[in-house]
Amino acid sequence: VGSYELLGETIDDAAGEAFDKSAKLMGLPYPGGPHLARLALGGDGAAFKLPRPLLHSGNLDFSFAGLKTAVLTQAKKLGAELESRKADLAASTQAAIVEVLVKKTLAALSQTALKRLVVAGGVGANALLRSQLNAACRQRGIRVHYPELEFCTDNGAMIAMAAGMRLQAGLVNLDALRSSYTFDVKPRWNLSEFQSEPALATQNA
């Protein structure tokens, strides 16, 4: 807890956003990711040639805005035919996102020589992602861990768990919190701000 190394980050749209926004373009309800994944079960993931952003970039960063644009372009091109090809477009979109996630994850594991992987976040519930990661990691002798599906739908549970672990580790100044109970809401919080520091106060009941 409190010791992190940022290997890669999202430049624009994250994978979850790519799922949700692509699903919206196909007229699917929110949250779009699970609906797109279910629709993709009846489609062909190779039906449409969609981009794999930054797949060969040589780094571990992600970018899915271009994929979203490609999905929009393809949907417009299909026009009235979209309804009958929607499952194929969903499957092709999912295949593109998952391929990037799997390749970048394997590159990160190779770079760090780690033998355990935790897949967290909403996209961690995606069945195709789990299947491909499991197969690839099994071949490399890497153990993969996932939260229960109920905890993959909302990062709030993971945020609360992280806060509890920091509290137990003495990384939180409880006296300061109790005196003000004020804090800023940050929709995007840089991990570098959470590096370990000596405990500011002992934990008192």
Burial of 8 (0-12, 13-18, 19+ CB in 10 A): middle
Asked if residue 106 and residue 179 are part of one domain, the reply reads no
Asked if residue 110 and residue 71 are part of one domain, the reply reads yes
Distance in angstroms (rounded) separating the CA atoms of residues 154 and 69: 26
Asked if residue 120 and residue 49 are part of one domain, the reply reads yes
Position with higher pLDDT, 101 vs 151: 101
Position 85, amino acid:
R
Check pLDDT > 70 for residue 72: yes
The Cα-based distances of 137 to 121, 129, 130 in angstroms read 19, 12, 10
pLDDT recorded at residue 162: 81
Asked if residue 80 and residue 101 are part of one domain, the reply reads yes
Position with higher pLDDT, 159 vs 136: 136
Report, as an integer, the average pLDDT of 68-84.
95
Asked if residue 162 and residue 145 are part of one domain, the reply reads no
Rounded to the nearest integer, the mean pLDDT of the chain is 87
Check pLDDT > 90 for residue 127: yes
pLDDT recorded at residue 203: 40
Boundaries of domain holding 28: 15-151
pLDDT recorded at residue 163: 83
pLDDT recorded at residue 167: 84
pLDDT, tens digit, 9 for 90 and up, residues 129-138: 999 999 999 9
Asked if residue 167 and residue 146 are part of one domain, the reply reads no
pLDDT recorded at residue 100: 97
pLDDT recorded at residue 205: 37
Report the 10 Å Cβ neighbour count for 48: 21
201: in domain: no
Please provide residue 62's backbone torsions phi and psi, each rounded to the nearest 5 degrees. -120, 150
7: in domain: no
CATH number of the domain to which 102 belongs: 3.30.420.40
Distance in angstroms (rounded) separating the CA atoms of residues 142 and 103: 14
Closest CA to 123 of 168, 155, 165, 89: 155
Check pLDDT > 60 for residue 139: yes
Cβ neighbors of 2 (< 8 A, separation 6 or more) are 166, 169, 171, 194, 195, 196, 197
Closest CA to 129 of 163, 100, 166: 100
Overall number of domains in the chain: 2
Bridge partners (DSSP) listed for residue 117 = 144
Of 151, 167, 185, the position where a domain reaches its end is 151
69: in domain: yes
Asked if residue 126 and residue 147 are part of one domain, the reply reads yes
Asked if residue 106 and residue 144 are part of one domain, the reply reads yes
pLDDT recorded at residue 171: 79
Report, as an integer, the average pLDDT of 177-201.
63
